[in-house]
Chain A
C-alpha cells in the first residue's frame, strides 16, 4: 500500500496541488468578485461603493462571508427537504467540476512532471467534458425551483431550463468551428494552435464564432441581460426565493464560478490563451516563462470578467420571447453559417483570415432584424396604432 503510494506520488502530488489551488481560489474569487462587482457598479453609477470595512472596503467581502455563515438556517415547511438540500450543492459541484479540465495557467500539450496549472492534463475530450459538465448546473437550478414548492421558483427554473436548452446549441456550434481549426478537443492543443503571431488568435479569423460563443455563454451563466430565471420584478427571486444563508451562497458561488469558467474559456479559445505578442513560443519549463504566461492569461481573464460585469450595467434584461428568438432566429443560424464557412476554408485551403469576413454576416443579420423592427415600430399614430396594438380604425368599423 505504502509502496504503491510512493510509486505514484510523483504524478499524484501535482494533481492534488492543482485541486488545492482550485478549491481555495474559487470560493475566494467568488467572494471577492461580489466586492469587485459592487465597486464597479458604484463607479458606473457615480457612487462610491463599499468603503467602510477595512482599507478601501477591502474587507467587505470577508465581513459578508462571516455574516452569511452565521445566518440562521431557515428551512420552509413546504419544501421537499432532500431535493431542497442537494440543489445548491449540485449547482456548485457542477460549476466546480467543469474547472477540472480548465488550464488556469500555461500547460504544455506534452505531459510533463511537476506542478501543472491543470488538474487533469492531456484530456483529449477536455472541451466536450467541460461543456457537458457545466450544462449540468441547469440541474441545480431546476431542482432548486422544484423543491421550493413555490410557483415563482418553478417559473424561474422552467425559464432557465428552456434558456439552457436553447443556448447550448449556438454554444456548441461556435465551439465546433474552433475545434475544427485546431483539430483537437484538447484545450491545451487549441491554445497551442493559436501560437505564433497574435493574428493567429481565433478572434482575428473567427470573430463571428466569438460573438455567438460569448453571447450564448453569457446566457448560460444566467447573468444580467439573460437572468430571466431570477428576475426580481417578475419572480420575486426566481429559483432561489426560498433559499437563505449558506445555501443561497452556494447558488451565488456557482454563478460566479460560471462567470470565471466562461471568461477562462473565452480567453483560451479565442484570445490566444497565454500567448501574447513577444511571448509566443511553446510552453517551456522555466519558472519565469511560466509565471509570465500565467500572468498574461489571468490579465486576459480579468479583462473579460470586467467586461461581463460592465455589460450588466449597460444592457436591460431581455423579454422571454426576445431571449428565445435571439437564440433560435439569431445565434443558431449565425453559428451554422460560421461552421459552414470554417469547413469551406479548411477543406479548400483558403487563407484562413478570409474567414474574418464572416463578421459581415453579423452586420447583414442585424440589418435584416433592423428592417423587421422598423416596419413594426415605425408606424405613425394616424394609422390608428395604439400602444396596446389595437387597430382603432378596424375596431370602429
Chain B
C-alpha cells in the first residue's frame, strides 16, 4: 500500500486582483461613490446622549439600592452574606439587635445599624444581589454615577434607601429578585406565597 499524501493544511488563497481593480482609477471612483452615498444617505447612528438616554437592559448592574419591605423598614436582616460574598470588600455592615420592645420591629431579630457601600471600590459583579437571602440589596440601572469627592461616593444606609425610593416606582427598576422566602423579614411578603422556595433552598427556614 502506497502512503497517500494527506492534505492536512488548507491554504486559503488570497482573492485574485482583477484587471479593473489593479487599475486603481476605478477603485478610486468607487471609493468616492461610497463616501458620497454615505453623505447623502443621512443615516446617522449617533445617539444624542444627554438629551436622549440609552435604553438600559433590565439585568444591568448599576448603582446599589437597599429595598424596603411593605411597612417601610429596611429589608436587610444584617446576615453579612453580601459582605462575605463581595470580592471587592466594598460592603461594610454593622448589625444591631432589633428593638424588641418596639411593636414595629417585633418580628425581626437583627437589623443593620450601618450599611455602607464604597461605590468606587465596587466592581459591579452582582454577587451581593445573588447572595442576599431576603432580596434586600439590588443593583439598579443607574449608570451615570458621579461625584466631586471620593467620600461622597461611599453610600450609607440612608443614601441606599433613598435610591430605592427614587427608583422603585420609575418602572425601570422593578424589584427583580424574588426568592426571598428565607428570613423573617419577608415572611409576610406577598411574594412568599407566589414563589415557593426552590428545591434545595430554604429547607432550614
Considering only residues 351-397 of chain A, those with a C-beta below 8 Å from chain B are 362-363, 366-367, 369-371, 373-374, 377-378, 380-382
Q: Which of A193-201, A296-304, A309-317 contacts B (4 or more CB under 8 A)?
A: A309-317
What CA separation (Å) do A48 and B49 show in the bound complex? Answer: 12
Find chain B residues with CB under 8 A from A367 CB: 23
What CA separation (Å) do A367 and B19 show in the bound complex? Answer: 8
Q: Taking the complex as formed, is B53 at the interface, i.e. its CB lies under 8 A from any CB of chain A?
A: no
| CB pair A47 B17 closer than 8 Å | no
| CB pair B39 A373 closer than 8 Å | no
What CA separation (Å) do A313 and B38 show in the bound complex? Answer: 11
Q: A44-B38, A311-B32, A373-B22 are in contact. Are A381 and B17 (CB under 8 A)?
A: no
User: Within the complex, what minimum Cβ distance (angstroms) separates A164 from chain B?
Assistant: 23
| CB pair A380 B13 closer than 8 Å | yes
| CB pair A314 B24 closer than 8 Å | no
Q: Taking the complex as formed, is B44 at the interface, i.e. its CB lies under 8 A from any CB of chain A?
A: yes
- Which secondary structure dominates chain A's binding surface? helix
What CA separation (Å) do A130 and B182 show in the bound complex? Answer: 88
| CB pair A314 B13 closer than 8 Å | no
Q: A315-B28, A366-B25 are in contact. Are A378 and B43 (CB under 8 A)?
A: no
| CB pair A314 B25 closer than 8 Å | no
Q: Taking the complex as formed, is B34 at the interface, i.e. its CB lies under 8 A from any CB of chain A?
A: yes
Q: Taking the complex as formed, is A16 at the interface, i.e. its CB lies under 8 A from any CB of chain B?
A: no
Of A310, A314, A362, A366, chain B has the most CB atoms within 10 Å of the CB of A314
Q: Taking the complex as formed, is B45 at the interface, i.e. its CB lies under 8 A from any CB of chain A?
A: yes
User: Within the complex, what minimum Cβ distance (angstroms) separates B199 from chain A?
Assistant: 52
Q: Taking the complex as formed, is A346 at the interface, i.e. its CB lies under 8 A from any CB of chain B?
A: no
Q: Taking the complex as formed, is B6 at the interface, i.e. its CB lies under 8 A from any CB of chain A?
A: no
Find chain B residues with CB under 8 A from A21 CB: none
Q: Taking the complex as formed, is B36 at the interface, i.e. its CB lies under 8 A from any CB of chain A?
A: yes
Mark interface residues in B14-37 (1 if CB within 8 Å of A CB, else 0): 101101001111001001101110
Find chain A residues with CB under 8 A from B45 CB: 46-47
Q: Taking the complex as formed, is A165 at the interface, i.e. its CB lies under 8 A from any CB of chain B?
A: no
Q: Which residue of A lies closest to B16 (CB)?
A: A378
What CA separation (Å) do A311 and B34 show in the bound complex? Answer: 11
Q: Taking the complex as formed, is B11 at the interface, i.e. its CB lies under 8 A from any CB of chain A?
A: yes
Q: Taking the complex as formed, is B46 at the interface, i.e. its CB lies under 8 A from any CB of chain A?
A: yes
What CA separation (Å) do A366 and B39 show in the bound complex? Answer: 29
Q: Taking the complex as formed, is A45 at the interface, i.e. its CB lies under 8 A from any CB of chain B?
A: yes
What CA separation (Å) do A377 and B28 show in the bound complex? Answer: 19
| CB pair B24 A48 closer than 8 Å | no
Q: A44-B39, A366-B23 are in contact. Are A373 and B17 (CB under 8 A)?
A: yes
| CB pair B36 A310 closer than 8 Å | yes
Q: Taking the complex as formed, is A43 at the interface, i.e. its CB lies under 8 A from any CB of chain B?
A: yes
A43, A311, A377: which contacts B17 (Cβ < 8 A)? A377
User: Within the complex, what minimum Cβ distance (angstroms) separates B159 from chain A?
Assistant: 33
| CB pair A370 B35 closer than 8 Å | no
| CB pair A315 B19 closer than 8 Å | no
| CB pair A43 B31 closer than 8 Å | no
Mark interface residues in A32-46 (1 if CB within 8 Å of B CB, else 0): 000000001011111
Q: A43-B38, A378-B16 are in contact. Are A48 and B23 (CB under 8 A)?
A: no
| CB pair B24 A44 closer than 8 Å | no
What CA separation (Å) do A40 and B39 show in the bound complex? Answer: 7
User: Within the complex, what minimum Cβ distance (angstroms) separates B7 from chain A?
Assistant: 12
Find chain A residues with CB under 8 A from B17 CB: 373-374, 377-378
Find chain B residues with CB under 8 A from A380 CB: 13
| CB pair A369 B38 closer than 8 Å | no
A310, A377, A378: which contacts B35 (Cβ < 8 A)? A310
What CA separation (Å) do A311 and B39 show in the bound complex? Answer: 13
Q: Which residue of A lies closest to B29 (CB)?
A: A314
| CB pair A46 B32 closer than 8 Å | no
| CB pair A374 B19 closer than 8 Å | yes
Q: Which residue of B lies closest to A313 (CB)?
A: B35
Find chain B residues with CB under 8 A from A44 CB: 35, 38-39
What CA separation (Å) do A48 and B19 show in the bound complex? Answer: 38
A314, A369, A382: which contacts B28 (Cβ < 8 A)? A314
User: Within the complex, what minimum Cβ distance (angstroms) separates B84 from chain A?
Assistant: 47
What CA separation (Å) do A188 and B42 show in the bound complex? Answer: 40
Given A48-B48, A377-B14, 8 other A-B contacts at CB below 8 A? A43-B42, A44-B38, A313-B35, A314-B28, A362-B25, A363-B23, A367-B23, A378-B16
Interface pairs A-B: 7 shortest CB-CB: A370-B22, A314-B31, A366-B23, A48-B46, A43-B39, A370-B23, A314-B35
In the complex, 15 of the A-B residue pairs with CB atoms within 8 angstroms, ordered by the A residue number, are A40-B39, A42-B44, A43-B38, A46-B46, A48-B44, A310-B35, A310-B36, A310-B39, A311-B32, A314-B31, A315-B31, A362-B25, A373-B17, A374-B22, A381-B14
